[in-house]
Structure 1
């Protein structure tokens, strides 16, 4: 069965980003639905896949990483408004049997992502 996982690394500190709230939305029929929410653990990962089993279906999705709240919790002295507050990654799932891993490499002034394994 397919599944969607993610993790977040704080590239400015060189460590996993613990405590980041993540939302997963699915798009279709002209609107989006909140499908799941999670918070990263000490390893920067969610405790369970964001999506798996019968809920894992091909379609358009969006992960929303609440980076600004994470930076606040870390005591980062950032300008107001922050350069990055919510990091949004919109992507498609085409294979309902595959493992999709969407990591976020994050700093206060930039980020990158890729389809991992």
Structure 2
């Protein structure tokens, strides 16, 4: 890979569907590779902000064909912040009580193909027992 960058970029956000709120403070790593069999290279890391967003990943290197986002979900679900938000949601919205501690998925890794000149926004809908992703706008 060269050190040049393309205009391709990546952003993400996480909505914790168990409490109906953004997931703040989740560590997210970004790795890239060239070609389906290429080696992965760490390209950036971030943490979700109060709105559950990571908007500060670096541009992708020229030749990048695949990106992997790695969400460290276990630490989030075990955090005091999540537990307090979960308690508040239960009181305000009759949200179902989480019956298990931690997360069934301690991490979520999403791999997707990219093309130069495009922006890729990849939202993660998350709860302790499942997740869903899609290409956003």
TM-score between the two structures when normalised by the length of structure 2: 0.73
Q: Which runs of 4+ in 1 moved over 4 A?
A: none
Unaligned runs of 5+ in 2: 1-6, 84-97
Residue of structure 2 in register with 1:70 after alignment: 76
Q: What is the aligned partner in structure 2 of residue 100 from structure 1?
A: 120
Say what the alpha-carbon RMSD is for the aligned residues: 2.0
User: More strand by proportion, 1 or 2?
Assistant: 1
After superposition, the C-alpha distances for 1:60-116 in whole angstroms (9 at most, x for unaligned) are 111100000000112377357x411000101110x2101111110000000000111
Structure with the largest fraction of helix = 2
Report if the CA contact (8 A) 1:68-1:86 is conserved. yes
Q: For each residue in 1:33-54, what CA deviation from the matched residue of structure 2 results, as whole angstroms up to 9, or x when unmatched?
A: 1111000000000242x232x6
Aligned length: 113
Counterparts of 1:7 and 1:35, CA distance in 2: 18
Max Rg structure: 2
**1:5–1:51 contact (8 Å) kept in structure 2:** no
Q: Could you tell me the TM-score, scaled by structure 1's length? A: 0.85
Runs of at least 5 residues in structure 1 that lack an aligned partner in the other structure: none
